[in-house]
Structure 1
Amino acid sequence: MTTDLERLAERLREFARVRDWEQFHTPKNLTMALAGEVGELVAEFQWLTAEESAKPDPEALARIRTELGDVTLYLIRLADVLGVDLVEVAQAKLDDNDRRYDADRYRGSARKAPPSS
């Protein structure tokens, strides 16, 4: 069964192929583009209060949605180029975090756990 994420990766792959952009979609270039898009997303929140960031006005929300789309597309394309299953690595990371951050010990705390061994 093909997931939505896999279909999106396939669509991105075809989008790049028909434009002959694979030559530019190196992991380095995609990572740099991803960082740039994350920066644009960060800029949307830069001067907002915590309350404003939780409920952005409609115009700001439209810009945030666009930047989230850009970040998502570059991340999916990077993972595809590297042959990384994003769902698999996210599940593994969540499993690791679950082990590192015991709910009883870390509830309500923003402190970092020691590095996993």
Structure 2
Amino acid sequence: MQTNDINLLMDEVIRFRDERNWARYHTPKDLAMSVAIEAAELMEIFQWKDLQRDELLQEKYLLPVTEEIADVAIYLLILSHDLGIDLGEAIRRKLAANAGKYPAGESDNLW
């Protein structure tokens, strides 16, 4: 994934928000809380179920999972935009840090 792809998507999300004049509600605190709330809604789909990967591909699970993942991503894009964070670059830096922390072939037994 290219940083530009993320930036294009971010622009689309911000345009959607700005067309509705919602920026006034989007404080960093409220956006961070919204990420957590949407992540909780994603977790709720799995609560009390032991779903296997092929079961998750059924539309009755895949559609709500997809929608909640999108909600989390939208709030992360807005929060990144509003704080001036290059999300693509932040992800790349985090992957590089994790690669040093958990070298491939040496971290098979973490769990």
Deviation of residue 12 (structure 1)? 1.6
Q: Unaligned stretches of 5+ in structure 2? A: none
Map of 1:95 onto structure 2? 96
Give the 3 Å change call, closer, same or farther, for CA 78–16 of structure 1 in structure 2: same
Q: Unaligned stretches of 5+ in structure 1? A: 111-117
State the TM-score, normalized to the length of structure 2. Answer: 0.87
Please tell me whether the aligned partners of residues 3 and 89 of structure 2 are also in contact (alpha carbons under 8 angstroms): no
Q: Please give the alpha-carbon distance, in whole angstroms, between the structure 2 residues aligned to 1:93 and 1:16.
A: 28
Give the 3 Å change call, closer, same or farther, for CA 43–53 of structure 1 in structure 2: farther
Q: Which moved more, 1:35-44 or 1:54-63?
A: 54-63
State the TM-score, normalized to the length of structure 1. Answer: 0.83
Number of residues paired by the alignment? 108
2:81 is paired with a residue whose SS is: helix
Map of 1:70 onto structure 2? 71
- How big is the alpha-carbon RMSD for the aligned residues of Structure 1 and Structure 2? 1.8
Moved segments of 4+, more than 3 Å:
none
Q: Percent identity?
A: 33
Structure with greater contact order relative to length (CA < 8 Å, sep ≥ 6)? 2
Q: Please give the alpha-carbon distance, in whole angstroms, between the structure 1 residues aligned to 2:73 and 2:3.
A: 18
Please tell me whether the aligned partners of residues 12 and 77 of structure 1 are also in contact (alpha carbons under 8 angstroms): yes
Map of 1:115 onto structure 2? none
